[in-house]
Amino acid sequence: MCSIIGYYGDGLAAPILVKGLKRMEYRGYDSVGVATETGNEISVKKGVGKVSEVNNALHLDAMLGNVGIGHTRWATHGNVTDANAHPHPSSSGKIAIVHNGIIDNYGELKSDLEKRGYVFKSQTDSEVIANLLQFNFDEVHDIKSAMMRTVSKLKGHYAFVAMFQNGTLAAARYHEPLIVGIGKNGYFMSSDVLGFIEKTDDAIYLDNGELVVLDQVGIHIFNFEGIPVKHQITKVSKEFADVYKGDYAHFTLKEISEQPETVIQAGEKSKAAIDSVTDVLKHAKNIYITGSGTSYNAALVAKYLWQKYAKIKAEPIISSEVFFAPDTIEPNSILVAVSQSGESADVLEAVNIAKKSNSKILAIVNTLTSSLAQESSLVIGMNCGPEIGVAATKSFTAQLSIIYKITEKLCDGCIKLDSRKISESIAKILEDHSKIKEIAKELREISDIYILGRGVHYPIAAESALKLKELTYIHAEGIPGGELKHGPLALMDSSVYVIIINPNDFTYNDTLTSAREIKARGAKIIGISDKPSDVYDHWIEIPAIDEALYPLIEIIPIQLLAYYAAIEKDTDPDYPRNLAKSVTVK
């Protein structure tokens, strides 16, 4: 999604803003812009492309001024064009804004403002904030009051930072993240601590419905009714600063390679929370488990494991579906919400709905300062460090590790998660990429790939399909093995590849039979297994482990395959087209 940033201080704003935007580029990245103030004049530069491309072309970081705002855009309203990139100045150019979120009533606000003579230069919903704020400021001549009037008219969800001609910054938060950084020589306002972590680790996490005004006097925080609000300063973990690729060509490869460590660390700092969650689940009447994308696939694994080993039923629900079937969640239930970012709008909406029916929220989340963590009564931290590559990799295995730890406790040790053993097995798979690289070359020209798995391996097949789609843009579909003959077999011919997830467990023989049926139709078979078979055109070997634990390791070769196929296809694995890391809009 979009990133917003503002700086007010002694230093030159533009280079600080550009650096902050680069660190937050993972959130959204089709266009970039910066506005600064010098001598009561606002200058704006913006364009389509990545931060470094736009910076090289327009020299954003050479703009003058000690106050500024910046933005990376992920288009929602209006095409990817220079005009639609942020910052958006008001008609008069006396205010400029950067915005993250969606203004639902922008159409009516825009036509009202147009009737009053305001001119709009973009197709975005965001530009309405600039002109509405200008209209209100011209009426009341006071920044705080103008902000209060403006937010009282906006419907939707947003975080925005506005820069006034006199160099004052003002910001508002409503259901989109906005964090204030307090440095020695300046203040920051940013969608993510990554925007300012190099400069300061002192942060204030604004609540929904709060406004900030930053001027020569200092920083003032109010609620939307104008009442001053006091906040504690939080020390942000320095691990957030560790967002460089190091020797790796891409963040995605770095994050895949970190998994031998992250599966051990997962949930390590939340042992007490894991105990409490287990206790709550054991005594719950109804349990639901929700997430989006990869996090939903982890939720599916939880359903299988808790049912099979602990005889506890948890109903998985795709977060974005909860709104359309809110009665699915019985009153006074438990909702386990799984999310890497803790900011996915769909997940937060599901949580909101569940809370209205008096359900308790348990979160498995990576970002402990996120909205989800704040909304939950018990929080288990994935503890896998920042994940920058848009495709979820290490966060998935961290989620699974936590789900296994809960399962182990729920079933009083009937399965044992030996994290060291898992870590060694993952390290073994990661030791040599050569075979996977060769297979990736064959995927360059294909247009369809299917992934088959039975039982608990089906969610891994679904997750594999998601990784292949995102990173390679090849049509990919996860299929529960037994469903093959109920339709998908019609698609099998010599043009397709099929990945068979087939560890040597209770699903092995049935899945091998499916592989033979597919092979008979001419498709190429890639087998992921600890046991070779003549049916595989390519066998990717995984180590033999305790049969309950295969899902934790069998996804690794497919993450690598998706990564190397992306390289073969010359797509950017870190920033797949049209996608953003945290999907904070519905």
Catalytic residues: 2, 581
Q: Are 5 and 195 in contact (CB under 8 A)?
A: yes
Which 3 state secondary structure label does DSSP give 35?
Answer: strand
Please report whether residue 340 would count as binding ligand F6R according to CB under 6 A: yes
Q: What are phi and psi of 327, to 5 degrees?
A: -75, -10
Q: How far is the CB of 144 from ligand F6R (least distance, A)?
A: 34
Percentages helix, strand, coil for the chain (3-state, rounded to 5) are 40, 25, 35
Binder of ligand F6R out of 68, 293, 385, 527 (CB under 6 A): 293
Q: How far is the CB of 205 from ligand F6R (least distance, A)?
A: 18
Binder of ligand F6R out of 273, 281, 379, 391 (CB under 6 A): 391
Distance between start and end Cα atoms, the chain: 11
Please report whether residue 503 would count as binding ligand F6R according to CB under 6 A: no
Please report whether residue 344 would count as binding ligand F6R according to CB under 6 A: yes
Of 35-43, 293-301, 400-408, 555-563, the window that binds ligand F6R (rule: CB under 6 A) is: 293-301
Contacts of 70 (CB under 8 A, 6+ apart): 4, 5, 6, 17, 18, 20, 21, 32, 33, 34, 35, 60, 87, 98
DSSP 524-535: EEEEEESS--TT
Q: How far is the CB of 248 from ligand F6R (least distance, A)?
A: 18
Q: Are 187 and 170 in contact (CB under 8 A)?
A: no
Q: How far is the CB of 342 from ligand F6R (least distance, A)?
A: 7
Considering the complex, state which of residue 205 and residue 396 has its C-beta at the smaller distance from ligand F6R. 396
Element (H, E) at 427: helix 419-431
What residue number has its CB nearest to ligand F6R? 293
The residue assigned the tokens 């982890």 is 298
Could you say which residues in the range 556-585 bind ligand F6R, by CB under 6 A? Answer: 582-583
The residue assigned the tokens 């072309």 is 57
Contacts of 356 (CB under 8 A, 6+ apart): none
- Is 235 exposed, middle or buried (CB count within 10 Å of its CB: 0-12, 13-18, 19+)? exposed
Amino acid letter for position 186:
G
Q: How far is the CB of 282 from ligand F6R (least distance, A)?
A: 26
Could you say which residues in the range 74-113 bind ligand F6R, by CB under 6 A? Answer: none
Binder of ligand F6R out of 72, 126, 190, 294 (CB under 6 A): 294
Considering the complex, state which of residue 134 and residue 371 has its C-beta at the smaller distance from ligand F6R. 371
Do the bridges between strand 287-291 and strand 186-190 make them parallel or antiparallel, or are there none, so unpaired? unpaired
Of 39-47, 67-75, 321-329, 334-342, the window that binds ligand F6R (rule: CB under 6 A) is: 334-342
Could you say which residues in the range 273-292 bind ligand F6R, by CB under 6 A? Answer: 292
The site map against ligand F6R for 465-484 (x = CB under 6 A) is -x---x--------------
Q: How far is the CB of 294 from ligand F6R (least distance, A)?
A: 3
Phi-psi group of 311: left, alpha or beta (phi > 0 → left; psi -120 to 50 → alpha; rest → beta): left
The site map against ligand F6R for 195-214 (x = CB under 6 A) is --------------------
Binder of ligand F6R out of 295, 359, 472, 511 (CB under 6 A): 295
Residues within the interface to ligand F6R (CB under 6 A):
292-295, 339-341, 344, 347, 390-392, 466, 470, 582-583
